[in-house]
A and B are shown apart, each in its own frame.
Chain A
Amino acid sequence: MKTKTGFHLRSVLGEHIIVAEGVENIDFSKIISMNDTAAALWKNFEGKTFTQDDMVSFLLDEYEVDEATARNDIQTIVNQWTDAGIIE
């Protein structure tokens, strides 16, 4: 999978938000906020092609978490990102 183009992570007063950015237009009716972990994942994989396993490895490298939990969390995030339409 990969992150869709036109969705960029911005930091607005401590909140990580993803705003839909066309070449021209930025749509504030479609704002997605992320926690620190999700934002770190997004930052790492933005613009790349990656697998769910890559995301799990990233979590295991960066955070104190066991593999089962990491897999679970990544599954949740992937579902949410899919629902939000920010990955394809």
Chain B
Amino acid sequence: MRDDIKTIQIANEVLLPEVVRMTDEGHTVTLPLRGYSMRPFLEDGRDKALLKKPAAIGVGDAVLAEIAPGRYVLHRIVAIEGDAVTLLGDGNLTTEHCRLGDVKATAIGFYRKGRATLDSTSGRKWRLYSWLWTRLRPVRRYLLAAYRRIWLKLFKPI
């Protein structure tokens, strides 16, 4: 009976519906983040998101959305037209699309770099970063490339 307790990694298609069930019940959920699609602010395996059930969904929000059955992303909303939502990861160049009903949870903040204090999405840091990064979208391709090829070679993730 050696492996009675272990920390496990659960596949997204299993874990995320459970997360959504809990936010729907009214809990907030702390979720470790995977992937590089929300660079430069959020880093794979390092940061965590604090999620809650969406109330008012707006452009600029970072949300957990089911973009295809069983396929979830935590990306930023870049456009809403009627029921049609366009998403774009901060570290991505291509958008995804879903319906308003597919937006399952909203990020109310992020725990970065192992810190216990939350960078709230209503706080100054996130809003300033969001304002700047959104405006830099025309040159994002070059910024991300420079971040990956130069910055990360010389320094740690931002």
Q: Do A and B bind each other?
A: yes
Chain A interface (Cβ < 8 Å from any Cβ of B): 10, 12-13, 15, 17, 21, 24-29, 31-35, 37-38, 73, 76-77, 80-81, 83-84
Please indicate the chain B residues that have their CB under 8 angstroms from the CB of A28 in the complex: 15, 19, 29-32
Q: Count the B residues whose beta carbon is within 8 Å of the partner chain — how many?
A: 22
**B31 touches which one: A29, A77, A81 (CB < 8 A)?**
A29
B contact patch SS: mixed
Please indicate the chain A residues that have their CB under 8 angstroms from the CB of B53 in the complex: none
Chain B interface (Cβ < 8 Å from any Cβ of A): 1-8, 10, 14-15, 18-19, 22, 27-32, 48, 50
Q: How far, in Å, is A13 (CB) from chain B's closest CB?
A: 5
27 A-B residue pairings within 8 Å (CB atoms): A10-B18, A12-B14, A12-B15, A12-B18, A17-B8, A17-B10, A24-B28, A25-B27, A25-B29, A26-B22, A26-B27, A28-B19, A28-B29, A29-B48, A31-B7, A31-B8, A31-B10, A32-B6, A32-B7, A34-B5, A38-B1, A38-B4, A38-B5, A76-B1, A76-B2, A81-B5, A83-B5
B32, A29: Cβ atoms under 8 Å?
A: yes
Query: What is the total of A-B residue contacts with beta carbons within 8 Å?
Result: 67
